[in-house]
Each structure stands twice: as structure tokens, then as C-alpha cells.
Chain A
Amino acid sequence: MRFLSIVLLILAISVSCQKKIELAAPPYDSEIAVEMYLEEGSILKCLLTESLPYTDTAINRPLADAVVVFSDGVTRDTLQNKELHDWEHGRWYNYARYKRFEPDAAKTYTLTVTDGGKRTVSASTRFSQPLVQIKQLVSKPLEQEQGGFSVGVVIPDPPETENFYRLMIARKLNDFNASSTDVYMSDLSFNGQSFSVFSKEGYAKGDTVTVRLYSLQKEHYDYIQSVNGARLSNFNPLVQPSKIRSNIEGGVGIFAAIRYDQKQIVIR
């Protein structure tokens, strides 16, 4: 839908002009922004920043003076304010605890953050989503790109549950580009059926391509959708601006349990 509205907008914008203005924006109180993902075998890490009024001239700074407590209902871990790089995905976090995380589907995990200003935010999550496996990978020559091959992925959607997916196809997951495939889907319109997606990017013979299929929690899917919607509506008057649907109580961001199936294919 959003893609379509952009298409419709192209004609209008082709004759448009722009002029800078002074904007009297509505008032806004800054919030704590949280980003933390729980993943099997990964260490506990969290990115804490502070949101700002939209047209503020400052940079969104990392939050340095917070107390970050993670709990699995039995034990409590306090994450330290230290920089941590996730080299696999090319990410950076500012709170961490070097403890390998082992998920338990029966447990509810909670996160509590209190900053120097005594603001407190909290969130909880569970590994409740079923893990859906990639059924088939194929490669086919691309008509539009001589010598290029598209990678196709077949995914069997289980009918008994409501499922949300994120599919990524790239040579390397820490070297994503604009042509790499990164799509989000809800099974609302294909529940119980197999569906397939082909990569937009073409790969050469001999390339090793990684395909990762995330099984997302509903709140994680809603959050990502709302973030994409909010970013897009910032330059498109034809869509209703999207509010951020966050599971962080008292703040903004996401605290999510990550599950995925990953396979590779060598283009031949």
C-alpha cells in the first residue's frame, strides 16, 4: 500500500517545489528509547538512547547513566554501561553483560531501565512464537540481468498459529545494501499455505547467498511495521502517519525474542 502511494505521488512530485520554513512544532517530552534482542547463544546487550523533540538540533545521544536490569523470573542480571559491537550484523550497543543467553519457552523475560532522571521504563517478552523452517531454496536466471540469478525461498506457513515473518536474502548479513531482500509478512492473507519469495538482487555463479527467515513475535512485527510506516509517512502526504507501536512501557523501542532459521545456497 505504501509502495503504491509512493507510485501515485511520483507524478505530483515531478512538478513540486520546496521552501524551508520555521516550524512551531507541538510540545514533546523526551523518552527513553530501548532496543534489546534476546537470541540463543548471544550475550545480553541493549541500546539505550534518549528521544528528542523532532526538530531539535541535538543528536540523539546514548543514555549513559541508566540502571538496566534483566530478569528471567528467577535471576536478575544488571547490564553494564559498556560499548559492545555485534560484528555479525554490524550493530552497536551501549549496555551489556557477558553471559550467554539460553532461552526457555516457559519463562517470561523482563527488562527494567531507570535513568539518572529517575524515569523508569519496563518491558517483557517470551519465546512463544513457533519457529518456521525454510522448506526450499532455488536459484533461477534473471531475465533483466544478464548472468544474474535470483534466489527463491519456499516457506510453509503452519495453519494453526498466527505467524509473522521477516525474510532476508543477502551475500552477507553484515553487508546489506539497498537491493538486498528484506521483507516483512503476516500470514493473514495466506494462512496455512506455502508461499515463496524471490530475491530482487541478482547473484553471480559461485556466490554463496545467505537466507534468514525470522519468526517474529506479533509485537515485534507491529513495531517494525510502525517504524517503517512512520519513516515513510514523513515524506508522503498520501498515507496516514503511523504511530509507533512499542512494547516498552513508559518509553519507546522494542524488547524482543529472536528466532530464525538460516540456510545458504551456492549459485551454480
Chain B
Amino acid sequence: MIRKSASGASVVICLFLMLSWADNAFAQGDTHSAVVKDKFSGQALSGATIQFLNSRFSVSSDSIGSVAIPKKLFEKEDRILVSMIGYKPFELTLQLLEGVAMIELERDAQALEEVLVTGNSALGKVTDLQMGADIISAMEAKRLPAILGEVDIIKILQLKPGVKGGGEGLSGFYVRGGGADQNQILLDDVPVYNPNHLLGLFSVFNNDAIRNAKLYKAAYPAKYSGRLSSVLDISSRPGSTDSLAVTGGIGILSSRVSVESPIEKGKSSFILSARRTYFDIFTAAMNKANRRKKDYQPIPDYFFDDINFRSDWKINRNNTLWLTAYRGRDQFSSDPQSATDLSWGNQLGSLNWKSLLNNKAAVTSTLFYSGYDYRLLNSYGYNRLELKSAVQTVGMKVAASAITEGPLRWSLGMDGQFHKLNIGDFKSSSELSDYKAGEKASGNEWGAFMHTEWDDGQRLALSGGLRVSGFYAGRKWQANLEPRFGARLNMGEKAALKASYTRMYQYLHLAALNSSSMPIDMWYPSTEKTLPQYADQVSFGWSESIGNNSFYFSLEGYYKWMNNQIAFRDGANIFGNPKLENDFVYGKGKAYGVESYIEKKNGRTTGWLGYTLSWSLRMFPDIDNGKPFHPRYDRRHDLSLVCMHKINKKLTLSGSWIYGSGAYITIPVGRFVFQDQAGRLTRSITPVYDQRGNYQLAPVHRLDLSLVIALKSRRGSEDITISLYNAYSRRNPYYISFEETNNKEGYVTSIEPTVVSLFPVLPGITYNFKF
């Protein structure tokens, strides 16, 4: 580990030097820039591919739809093909392209309903140097089954190999054996600290407000860092620059609406999206109806809401600004008797500027804020307890990517983040006294990276990157190197071998109460005692396009070593602890497995089959004497089958079936009597636990179905989505409860284990519209 000091000024100077260097480095020729847009709505389209049909050059539009093409390419005669999922391909000559600043794509209704998850063709995925990545667009997500009709992009990503959900009633998602806190979740390059609403039943991402999500499980480009196990990069959707549009949906338990409009036609726009659940309306009505029943326990009120906002402004041909904001809140209130209120939520904001630097490089600068906090209030009689925890981050990122016509591509950049953490701020008050306790901390995280790719379209392609990252807290700098390597070896025209090695550092740790993510977990910075987590991962894979590019097949194996993992020791004092790390224990983890995936990409029936065989283990010297144990999310077998079928122009049926080995839980092995010296006498026995993860629950399987009925609409599009979650009502195990039987004296005579399941079949119906 390198330790050194630097000042903020030197960081700024460095940044300017790098950009100056980038300016010179890329000043090899001129470029032509254009914006790809939806012809109907005027929305900028990110991820559209511009492919030169004779040469091997291709480029994709970025998050604001812009593409920059080296003018050298215009010297040769060529034709180009502009394509994007859900749109009719558009072919034009170079001469024609040179004269336009906007490329408009027309929607292809047929293609929208046929095409499944990836934006790339089967062959495109084979020849892509990137491995271990999945991309899904909001449009595609809408076609897949959704719980209670609420489309959730994170839930759909959990159907991919190597990605697992926490299980019913447990939030978070787990990638290649890593923890829920080890996923770097970015919304427009801004870190999201808690992606869950309602114990993970919903994510914080409103599908109407996002464009697409890309998940990296391995071979992370060097611009990413900060978490060990995955990067989920989500792009929000810009508003229409052409006309006013209203999109929304009305469901059983939640509704949502988005309004988008040009501010200055063709130049600037905004989109505002909001949604809210109304569980609380139903529960309040139930509580009111039952309030006279003697033994009735009122159901706590719960709701969540969130708002997304984005505004784009194209200043001129070379400069675009956009502003994004998000605010979400979960609110939980118990009945007035016990007076418990819990709320939690994220707040995000970013200002982004994209500029074409001398028309040779695209430079994107992002200034952002991200915050997450929770607040728990509990009062009874004269006692009042308040617990708060928060993490706030202010940061800046600058990244430049070269626009070159050759096989060598470069990108470089740097970023800095200031974290302010309020860890378990505890306040107890009554009329006689009050006290406060907790821990506050701060830290500076920074990084600089360079990433290169060399791909001449021949047999071998290579990528290499280096990220230098660091963290400053407690008067100590910690600096580390994060190398990244990738390689692709074409095996004929339709198959390729791929390999990668990556090292990732994580400077913020989630002090979690359990191996499942909860809203009251707390973020904790790296210190001299709590060292940064880091992981090394090697991956090998085979990709192949089968049957005239109709099928895509991949097989990937990985091995990951994780170091400086943290957990709470048994009996830790978690809240109001002035030095929380004194209750941490430190250890290691490892995960390995094989993922296979086959996807049918064309035709009226599309879908995929994924299967993962994997292991995940943790070793802590202070837990079970260092004996390896299974975290709850260690799942040996994981299978997902996803299928969509377009019945006719009006009806699309989709379904997904999952099967997973049972989760590892800890059950008691023994019991003894403890009567206590005084106090309330219970003859309840006391369970004895030994090793963590000592019992595996029964396997989980579930079928979800969805039927989308397109309605006739004069002014836009309307549909009704009917969904069935857990269609055959499989009672998947959530946990094991033990019921005691007592004799007349109150002593326990027998204990019967019962498995507790959460959700039976849950129907959902949502009316969706876009005008």
C-alpha cells in the first residue's frame, strides 16, 4: 500500500494537466458530431449504433444521444447503418451524414415486441471485448413479468446468471458471491447508497424515468471503482425536445406519472417523474374497520414515494448541459400507542457538462451530490429515543474519451468525492435528562484512471486499464493501484474466448446487521484499523453466436478473492456507539462459479435460459474460530428461464421461472433453561447456536407471468398489463420458526419447526399510458 499526501490544489492542477494532455493527444484529426433522436418524441437516444459497413469502425451514441465521428473516415467511400433496439435501421451515405447534425430514427412497433434484452446482436456480443456485462433497457424491462405490476429493472437483472436476489422479504442483490453493499449503483454517474424501497420489494428506480441499465460483473472499465463485486450503471431518460408528453400507470398498490416537454424546442427539455404507493390507505381503512376488536393488532402505515427530474440543454453543437435530481422516501409509522416512526431515503443531484474538445475528444464533467439517511423515532410515556444515520457525498468526475478511427481507443479521467458520515446518531431524552451519542466521520476519496482498448477486428483484442485510487481519513492517506486487463481471442467468425483480471477497492463499508441488506445498516469509512476492502477477480469465458445469429451462448467461469471484509462481533453495541469499529471483526471471503447462458434473440418468441453453479464463503478469525461459513446468499444452483411470446399485434405474453438452491441460515442446535435471578419469570427455553450458516433451507422456485394488452389509442399508446407473481403459489421458505409446547407448569415439552413463507400468488393489474 502506498501512503502519500496531496493537497486539493495539486489535484485541480493535475486535472487541468490531464485535460490539456488529452486535448493534445486527441488532436490528430477533425470530427463530425451529430445527435441521434427518436423521430416521434424528439428524445435523444443513447446506445444507438453507427456502423460503417465497409470499414470495421462503429460507434455508439452516449447518454445524451451524441456521437462524434472522425472526419478521416469521410475520406473513403462508405455507407453507414444507424440502428437501435426498437427502431427501424436507417442506412445513409457518408456524404449525407456529413451534412446533418441530427439523425432521427423511426420506431419499429414490430421490433419493439420481438426484441429481447440486449441492445447488441448475438454476433455483436461475441465480438465485444467486454465480458461479464448485461444491458437492459427500460423499454425491454416493461415486457417482462413484474411484481404487482411494478416494473423493476433490478428485479429483471436478477434473472441473469451470477446475479441473485436476497429472497422474498429480504432486500439487496448479490453478484458473483459478493455482498449487497459491494455493488456500485450509479444513477447518471451518481452513487446510490440504498437502491431499495420496502425491504427490496421495489427498487428506487422508476422505470419511466430511466433509459437503460448496464451491469458489470467482471472486467470493469477503469473508470469504475468503489465497490468490490459489480457496477450497475443506470442512465436516466432525457425529456422530449419536440413535444409535450405524459406517461404513467395506475396500479393496485402504486401509481406513477411522468411529464416531459421541450423548454425550447429542439434545444432544451425537461422530464419530471413521480410515483407513490398507497398501502397506507388500505391499512388505515383496515385498522379503522377493526379498531373495536379487542385483540386486533393495527397494521403499521407504510408508503414510499419518489421523484425524478432531468433537464437537458444543448448549448451549441459541441456543448450540452444536463441536470438530474432524485428524491425518494420510505415512511413507516406504527400505531400511536407504541409511537414508532421510521423513514429512510436517498437524495441525488448532478450537473453534467459534455463538451467536444477541439472535436477530437468528448469530455464529460459531473458535479454531484448523493445522500442517504434514515431516522427512527420511538417514544413511550416520557421516554423518547431518536436514532439517525446519514451518509452524504459531494463529488466531481471528469472523463475524456478519444474519438479515433484506429484500433486503439483511449479514455482517461479523474474523480474526487468528499464523504460526510453520521454514524448511529443516538439521542435519548425525557423530562429529567437527555444525552446524545454516536460517531461522526468524514473522508476524501479520489481516483484517476486511464483505460485503453486495442481491437483491429482481427483475432486478438486487448484492453488494459489502471486506476489509482485513494482515501484520506484520520490524517492518513491510503493509496492503491487497481489494474484491469481483458482479452478476446476470436475462434472463427462466430465464437470467441475471453479473459479478464480486475482489482477493485472499496473505501466505504456497510456495517450490516445481517447478511441481508436493511435500511438501518450504516456506512462506515476506511480508517487505520478498518482497512479498505479489495477484491481480485479472474474470469474466463466462451461466447458464441449460433444459428444465423438467432441465439447467443456464453459460458463464463470466475474466481474472486475478497479481503478486509467486515462484520459485527457477537453482541456488538450498534447504536449510539462512539467508536463502532471497536465492535467490528475482520476477515476474508472467496467466491467462485460457472455461469452459462443461452439467449434467443429473434422471432416472435424470445427469451433466455441461465444457469449458475457457484460457491461463496467467508472466513473470520473471530467468528467460529475462522471456520469458513456460508453467507445467506450463497446459492449452489441458480436457474432462470425467461420467455416472451408475441401472440398477435395486441397481446404479448411473458413468463419467467426461477429455481435456486435454498439459502443458508443459522438454526439453534441446543437448548437450556435460564430462569434469571429476578424479573418476569418465563419458562421459555434458551436456544444455543453454534456455527453460522449451519442449515440450508429448501430450494426456491417460482413462476411469474405477465400479459400486456395493447389498447387502441388515438393520441398515443395505452396498454393494460396483467401480472401474476408466483403463479402456482409456491410457498418458498423465508425462515424457520420454532413453536414451543408447554406443560401445565409452563415448561417446554416439545419444539416443532415450521417453515415460514411470505408471498402466495399475487395478481397485479396496471393501466399504462403515454400521450
Partner-B contacts on A (CB < 8 A):
1, 3-5, 7-8, 10-23, 25-28, 30-31, 33, 35, 37, 47, 49-57, 59-60, 89-92, 136, 138, 140, 142, 144, 150, 152, 154, 168, 173, 176-178, 180, 182, 186, 188-190, 193-200, 212, 222, 224-227, 229-231, 233-235, 237-245, 252-254, 256, 258
Contacts and interface: CB of A to CB of B under 8 A. Distances in A.
Interface string B498-521: 000000000000000111101110
Interface stretch (B19-27, B36-44, B458-466, B736-744): B736-744
A51 B756 CA distance: 26
A45 B737 CA distance: 35
A127 B200 CA distance: 49
B571 interface: yes
A215 B672 CA distance: 25
Contacts of A224: 676
Contacts of B81: none
A234 B376 contact: no
A14 B299 contact: yes
B687 A230 contact: yes
B673 A173 contact: no
Contacts of B648: none
Nearest to A153: B432
Contact of B578 (A60, A188, A200, A225): A188
Given A11-B198, A35-B675, A237-B170, 4 more contacts: A5-B513, A33-B673, A59-B747, A176-B679
21 contacts: A1-B575, A7-B340, A12-B734, A25-B669, A33-B673, A35-B677, A49-B673, A55-B751, A56-B751, A60-B685, A89-B678, A138-B432, A180-B680, A188-B577, A189-B437, A196-B431, A231-B686, A237-B514, A240-B514, A252-B672, A253-B674
Given A4-B376, A150-B381, A189-B437, A55 B672 contact: no
Given A238-B516, A238-B518, A245-B571, A193 B433 contact: yes
Contact of A188 (B573, B681, B686): B573
B27 to A, nearest CB: 57
B342 interface: yes
- In the complex, which of the residues A17, A189, A231, A244 has the most CB atoms of chain B within 10 Å of its own CB atom? A189
B456 interface: no
A32 to B, nearest CB: 9
B342 to A, nearest CB: 7
Contacts of A16: 734, 756-758
Interface string B301-339: 010000000000000000000000000000010100100
A125 B578 CA distance: 29
B688 A252 contact: yes
Nearest to B665: A237
Nearest to A235: B737
B674 A51 contact: no
- In the complex, which of the residues B430, B518, B678, B685 has the most CB atoms of chain A within 10 Å of its own CB atom? B678
Nearest to B576: A189
A20 B754 CA distance: 4
Nearest to A60: B673
Contacts of B677: 35, 37, 89, 91, 256, 258
Given A200-B381, A243-B689, A17 B757 contact: yes
A246 to B, nearest CB: 10
Nearest to A222: B571
Contacts of B756: 13, 16-18
- In the complex, which of the residues A12, A33, A136 has the most CB atoms of chain B within 10 Å of its own CB atom? A12
B435 interface: yes
A91 B576 CA distance: 34
B751 to A, nearest CB: 5
A26 B577 CA distance: 35
Nearest to B516: A238
B568 interface: yes
Chain B at the A interface: SS class: loop
A17 B751 contact: no
Nearest to B519: A8
A182 to B, nearest CB: 5
Interface of B: 169-170, 198-199, 299-300, 302, 332, 334, 337, 340, 342, 376, 378, 380-383, 426, 428, 430-433, 435, 437-438, 513-516, 518-520, 568, 570-571, 573-578, 665-681, 684-692, 694-695, 731, 734-738, 743, 747-760
Contacts of B169: 12, 237
Contact of A51 (B688, B753, B757): B688
A182 B680 CA distance: 8
Contacts, number: 280
Contacts of B752: 20, 55
A3 B382 contact: no
Contacts of B376: 4
A60 B751 contact: no
Contacts of B754: 18-21
A10 B298 CA distance: 10
Nearest to B583: A188
Contacts of A21: 736, 753-755
B758 A54 contact: no
B342 A4 contact: yes
A195 B666 CA distance: 37
A53 B670 contact: yes
| Nearest 7 interchain pairs by C-beta | A189-B576, A189-B437, A237-B735, A51-B672, A196-B432, A33-B672, A198-B382
A54 B677 CA distance: 24
Contact of B378 (A3, A30, A47, A253): A3
A152 B430 contact: yes
Given A3-B378, A198-B383, A258-B677, A17 B433 contact: no
A89 B678 CA distance: 5
B767 to A, nearest CB: 24
A189 B435 contact: yes
A51 B674 CA distance: 10
A26 to B, nearest CB: 5
B674 A19 contact: no
Given A15-B759, A196-B433, A25 B686 contact: no
B687 A1 contact: no
A59 B743 contact: yes
Nearest to A176: B680
B751 A54 contact: yes
A231 B681 CA distance: 14
Contact of B300 (A7, A227, A258): A7
A71 B679 CA distance: 28
A231 B687 contact: yes
B435 A238 contact: no
A235 B680 CA distance: 20
A241 B577 CA distance: 20
A168 B571 contact: no
B687 A234 contact: yes
Nearest to B632: A237
Nearest to A178: B680
Contact of B668 (A180, A182, A234): A234
A194 B511 CA distance: 29
Contact of B679 (A31, A150, A182): A182
B430 A197 contact: yes
A140 B382 contact: yes
- In the complex, which of the residues B378, B518, B670 has the most CB atoms of chain A within 10 Å of its own CB atom? B670
A234 B738 contact: yes
B669 A53 contact: yes
A192 to B, nearest CB: 10
B382 A152 contact: yes
Contacts of A150: 381-382
A123 B673 CA distance: 18
B482 to A, nearest CB: 31
A177 to B, nearest CB: 7
A254 B381 CA distance: 33
Nearest to B680: A176
A10 B300 contact: yes
Contacts of B667: 23, 25-26, 54
B673 A177 contact: no
A189 B577 contact: yes
Given A7-B332, A54-B687, A242-B571, A193 B755 contact: no
